[in-house]
Amino acid sequence: MLHIDNIEKYLRDHEISPSYQRKRIFEYLYNSKKHPSVNDIYSFLIDDIPTLSKTTIYNTLNLFIEKNIVDSIIIDGNELKYQICDSKKHGHFKCKSCNTLYDIQIDFDNLNIDSLKGFDIHEQSFYFVGICEKCKNNNKV
């Protein structure tokens, strides 16, 4: 797991001038165990920053993506989710019942997929949808 002890420095190191909004958005992403959407970020920060607009969140996230410190993922097709880039590649499992998005560690390097021979891979994504163990036990789905 990526460890950052100084967000302001981290942003500067990635050529991002650390405005208050940008720091708070990054901080929320960094501390979040989930993979928040723009609305999640907005709902969380609006109490602290009453003037905050979603445009700023979109601007900021797109800047972060451009500077390669944040990734966007899409599971359902409705809204984008964001997460701090992590060198360790992982996939996702989305529980249909509780809507939790779990990180799934996958050893991509050992996949050895024949049909990918000769292709340059820049990005990869792997996800599952189903029912998580917790919901299976609680709700007997």
The residues that touch a copy of itself, with contacts defined as CB under 8 A, are 72, 74, 77, 80, 93, 95-96, 102-106, 111, 113-133, 136, 141
Pick one of DNA, a copy of itself, none as the site partner of residue 139 (Cβ within 5 to 8 A by kind): none
**What CA–CA distance (Å, rounded) separates 132 from 39?**
24
Mask of contacts with DNA, 10-29, x by CB under 7 A?
-------x-xxxx-------
In angstroms, what is the minimal distance from the CB of 80 to DNA?
3
79 binds DNA per the rule CB under 7 A: yes
Residue among 74 and 116 whose Cβ is closer to DNA: 74
Pick one of DNA, a copy of itself, none as the site partner of residue 87 (Cβ within 5 to 8 A by kind): none
**What CA–CA distance (Å, rounded) separates 44 from 46?**
6
Tokens of 86: 């992590």
39 binds DNA per the rule CB under 7 A: yes
80 binds DNA per the rule CB under 7 A: yes
DSSP, res 65 = H
Pick one of a copy of itself, DNA, none as the site partner of residue 68 (Cβ within 5 to 8 A by kind): none
Tokens of 90: 């992982």
DSSP 3-state of 117: coil
**What CA–CA distance (Å, rounded) separates 10 from 6?**
6
CB 101 within 8 A of CB 33: no
